[in-house]
Chain A
Amino acid sequence: MRKVWQFLPTFYFGDAIGNDCLAISRFLTSKGIENAIGAKVIHPKMEEYASAFEEARKQIKDEDLIIYHLSVGDEMNDWFSALPNKKAVIYHNITPYKFFKTYSAVHIAVTQQGRWQMKKMADSVDLAIADSEYNAGELKKLGFPEAKVVPILMPFDDYRQEPDEETVKAMSDGKKNILFVGRVAPNKCQEDIIAVFAEFKKKYNMDARLVLAGSFGGMEQYKARLDKYVETLGLTDDVLFTGHISFSQILAYYKTADAFLIMSEHEGFCVPVVEAFLFGVPVLACDYGAIGETMGDAGVLLSSQKEPAKAASVLYEMLSDETWRSEEKERMKQALTRFETKAVEEKLWEALLPFVQE
């Protein structure tokens, strides 16, 4: 009986791509399709779900189907392109290398490599799936088969776990909590979030803190710069960099957030926007990448020209106008229906069925 293999370079715990891969695996199993996952780097908490790449690749039979999660440059991309099997790629987007200039030669190299490898991959796949229309557009430009758009499968049930009690308590001190969740990375533009917050603090007499929740591993130079920037703006006591935190702590920050502020200049899907909606936290964002697409009819989307003072004035309104906030909660609930597991699984099956059929 032929098998469906999912391959990806790194299978992390709590990572959007890792979660998507695992959810697809469970979905295929529910459809009675034998499947497995292979990865080069597997987080200890994910070891029961995947096999080491070198072992997994030996088990592939000619008739097996291969699904590959593409999000970074890696030798595995070339290996996948060269496989003779029937193949599908799920494209999560590769961050353009320009963001990493002066911060990380490693990131420049892998992102450049990834984009280069994508060009070679285009002719070799039978099916392309993209998380967003934005990602689908990139695939189209490179000559991939027309991509089916299937949002990332997010395990909504996981977000109903208990949040970290200590964090909830610390954040419930009466201050307004403005939150961003995401890696500390130049493409996420944390410096622009800080600028909006700085204007907000300066102009409005509102006791508030900015929480930047995310790991900065590999981006120490950028983080050092942000630290100095916060110090220069006199915001050291008001800005919290959490670093790497547990899932229950992330839940706690979402639960206690009053607004979600994102100034990212590149997103292929933007899982944190959906997470914010799940917790009823209004989102203020700039129109880059797939952010607007993911937000749908909820949230406030600003143009790509960043003006901290104006953004701060809009943020103030979002925090103050209770009628707007109440109505926004309903809009966010509506926006979430596109990402509910059943809806996404239907789209996924529609995309995969011709691929898995004989």
Chain B
Amino acid sequence: MSEKEPFLVKAADQEKLEEIAGKTNAGDVDYKKIFDETDPIRENMVSLVASKKSEDPRVLPSSGEEMANITGDTKGYIQRTEENMNMIATTHSGKGKKLFLKVAGWPARRYLDPQIKYNECSVRINEDILKMVDVLKRDSATIQQESKDRQDALLSVCSELASHMELMKKRIQELEVLVADLERKNQELEDRLDSADGRN
């Protein structure tokens, strides 16, 4: 918002309130930053990972893959996971690579049950969405094929037309040669007749 843009959109005594707001300093607290950095569940998971890491350092490259294993549904799920799934926990190794918490089979799972239940539910919903996507893809493919078929048929007709036109051009050229020949012969005849008339 530029400085000139009013803070108030509408109110009774708007001018007065605008003036009061205008005189107010923004303050030095960045509330958005504080909130963005507030994530107690992630903090808990990070410390959980740190405490469990020594017991079981196994990690997976993708939380989506892991959640797919938990719910028993892998088809199409991994693709959608990165977009829709909540991160269970992330932490960074010393090399800066992201590691993900492996949940299946760990005691940690019971702490995450509510999240897992939500995620299982979202898998079921995502299945419906993926089915819809399949239908649309099929429909889209059918339309594309029909369009292609029509295009092919059109091209075939155009090609036939083009070959007819080529043939016509040839015939016209042949006719032109024929006409030229006839005209020449006609002229020769006329010349002979004129010559015959002259001797008579």
Contact = CB atoms under 8 A, between A and B. Distances in A.
Contact of B8 (A103, A195, A303): A303
Interface stretch (B23-31, B52-60, B160-168, B172-180): B23-31
A104 B129 contact: no
A198 B114 contact: no
Nearest to A321: B13
B85 to A, nearest CB: 5
Interface residues of A, number: 51
Interface stretch (B37-45, B92-100, B187-195): B37-45
Contact of B31 (A75, A218, A308): A308
Interface in B150-174: none
A109 B123 CA distance: 9
A224 interface: yes
B26 A106 contact: no
A309 B8 contact: no
Contact of B128 (A75, A105, A228): A75
Contacts of B8: 300-303, 314
B40 A228 contact: yes
A223 B198 CA distance: 123
B75 interface: no
B17 A228 contact: no
B12 to A, nearest CB: 6
A241 interface: no
Given A105-B86, A105-B118, A225 B39 contact: yes
14 contacts: A106-B118, A192-B31, A202-B27, A218-B118, A220-B114, A225-B35, A287-B9, A303-B1, A303-B5, A305-B1, A305-B7, A307-B21, A314-B8, A317-B20
Tell me the dominant secondary structure on chain B's binding face: helix
A21 interface: no
Interface in B100-135: 114-115, 118-119, 121-122, 125-126, 128-129, 132
Contacts, number: 124
B122 A232 contact: no
A327 interface: yes
Contacts of A104: 86, 118
Contacts of A220: 114
Given A109-B126, A303-B6, A324-B12, A313 B35 contact: no
A228 B125 CA distance: 31
Nearest to A230: B38
A298 B28 CA distance: 32
Nearest to B121: A106
A76 to B, nearest CB: 12
B84 interface: yes
B20 A307 contact: no
Given A221-B86, A299-B11, A303-B1, A314 B40 contact: no
